Amino acid sequence: MGEATSIFTLYGATLTLDSAEFRTQMMGAQGSGWEELGASAAELEATRSFLSTRAMTIFGGTNDVQFNIKAKRVLGLPD
């Protein structure tokens, strides 16, 4: 069960990161809202989501580090 959980954790983080980036790109310039500039609630949410997903990869370890950990522990690959 631990191996599957590890893989799904990495996949979930990557999916969240990609979806926030995609939403921001689809909104164009409106995907970078800021309170002082009078952005709407949707614009602010897109910006906050985009920025918080970047932070998630830092506190969980970068995705590259997570890939290496999974390769060693789950797949048993050498260093």
Sign of CA dihedral 11, 14, 20, 25: negative
pLDDT tens, 28-45? Answer: 777 777 766 677 888 888
What pLDDT does residue 43 have? 84
Where are the domains positioned within the chain?
A: 2-73
Three-class HEC string of the chain:
CHHHHHHHHHHHHHHHHHHHHHHHHHHHHHHCCCHHHCCCHHHHHHHHHHHHHHHHHHHCCCHHHHHHHHHHHCCCCCC
The whole-number pLDDT of residue 65 equals 76
What is the pLDDT at residue 2? 66
Predicted confidence pLDDT, tens digits, the chain (79 residues): 567 777 777 788 788 888 888 888 888 777 777 766 677 888 888 888 888 887 776 766 677 777 777 778 777 878 7
pTM over 0.75: no
